Amino acid sequence: MSMTEDGTSLRRNTEEVPAHVDILNLRLHFGDRTVFDGLSCRFPQGKITVILGASGGGKSTLLRTIACLQQPDWGDIWVGDKEVTSMHRHQAQQFRRRIGMMFQGGALLDSLTVYDNVSLPLREHTKMTEDEIRETVQHQFTAVGLKNVDQLLPGQLSGGMMKRAALARAMILEPEILLCDEPFSGLDPLAVRLIENLIVETNQRTGVTILMTSHHMGSTMRMADQVVFLVGGAAICGPTKEIQTSVDPRIRSFLRASGADPLSEEELYLDSGFPRHEEEHS
């Protein structure tokens, strides 16, 4: 995928691309609350897939389940030729070397400098010399557009810099899959565009499969090759254009809510999980 000058994306057809992550009949409950109720979807290799849905709809939980941070009640998740839900602790730890994750809040270790944070995976999993580590980290800093941050602590970074540092750390071991949890949250519109371009550029440069959760419709439409829409514990998948023109009322109301058009009360409460006024009073 590439971005044109006016910011619109030139999307590739995702139908012919083999699945890198394949989710089959996923079920998960937190107490009485159903998060996934037979969710099935596939994420094509080397593409950017954006996961959309209402708050509390299970977007972050889906990423965590793929990363073996959350065990589902039922269902299979295939990453390449490996089924990951039945992995033991040590197997899961090995498997995670194939995945990078950019957390919503960055999740950088606040007792380490930015340099130490990004170099930590190299120190733990490679036999690189100190010079090689320095060179690799500096290269990664350049790739994400970070300068003069080596000795700063995470608490001294701005929101945009924190996201860049998190992306640098997630990509340092050159993973096959990059999971991005709300990469645009808390950023101003300019910073959103910068991070957006950075993620697309990373995808183009490395061919990494990107799974991203977002509430940001503009970015989704510009970046995504495929959209997975989580609704009622299930997933509606499709190329971005297909989702944009969907006639499903739940998707329509979500898309309309992100624009400037007014919403009817019917649309507002559809699948939101919030009680309507008359229900509250009754």
Residue 246 in tokens: 């969907």
| SS3 letters across the chain | CEECCCCCEECCCCCCCCEEEEEEEEEEEECCEEEEEEEEEEEECCCEEEEEECCCCCHHHHHHHHCCCCCCCEEEEEECCEECCCCCHHHHHHHHHHEEEECCCCCCCCCCCHHHHHHHHHHHHCCCCHHHHHHHHHHHHHHHCCCCCCCCCHHHCCHHHHHHHHHHHHHCCCCCEEEEECCCCCCCHHHHHHHHHHHHHHHHHHCCEEEEECCCHHHHHHHCCEEEEEECCEEEEEEHHHHHCCCCHHHHHHHHHHCCCCCCHHHHHCCCCCCCHHHHHC
Amino acid at position 86, single letter: S
Judged by CB under 8 A, the residue of 11, 62, 79, 103 near other proteins is: 103
Beta carbon of residue 11, minimum distance to other proteins (angstroms, whole number): 28
Q: How many residues bind other proteins (CB under 8 A)?
A: 24
Beta carbon of residue 40, minimum distance to other proteins (angstroms, whole number): 24
For other proteins, the closer of residues 120 and 194 by Cβ is: 120
Q: Is residue 156 at the binding interface for other proteins, with CB under 8 A as the rule?
A: no
Question: Which among 41-49, 107-115, 195-203, 264-272 is the span making contact with other proteins, rule CB under 8 A?
Answer: 107-115
For other proteins, the closer of residues 181 and 267 by Cβ is: 181
For other proteins, the closer of residues 64 and 256 by Cβ is: 64
Beta carbon of residue 119, minimum distance to other proteins (angstroms, whole number): 11
| Cα 94 to Cα 8: distance, rounded to the nearest angstrom | 38
Whether 75 contacts 23, CB under 8 Å:
yes
Q: Is residue 99 at the binding interface for other proteins, with CB under 8 A as the rule?
A: yes
| Cα 84 to Cα 95: distance, rounded to the nearest angstrom | 8
Q: Is residue 67 at the binding interface for other proteins, with CB under 8 A as the rule?
A: yes
Judged by CB under 8 A, the residue of 107, 143, 152, 268 near other proteins is: 107
Beta carbon of residue 96, minimum distance to other proteins (angstroms, whole number): 5
Beta carbon of residue 93, minimum distance to other proteins (angstroms, whole number): 5
Judged by CB under 8 A, the residue of 12, 27, 29, 96 near other proteins is: 96
Beta carbon of residue 5, minimum distance to other proteins (angstroms, whole number): 35
Q: Is residue 216 at the binding interface for other proteins, with CB under 8 A as the rule?
A: no
Residue 188 in tokens: 């101003």
Judged by CB under 8 A, the residue of 25, 83, 86, 110 near other proteins is: 110
Q: Is residue 108 at the binding interface for other proteins, with CB under 8 A as the rule?
A: yes
Judged by CB under 8 A, the residue of 35, 39, 167, 170 near other proteins is: 170
Q: Which residues lie near other proteins (CB under 8 A)?
A: 64, 67, 69, 93-94, 96-97, 99-101, 103-105, 107-110, 120-121, 124-125, 169-170, 173
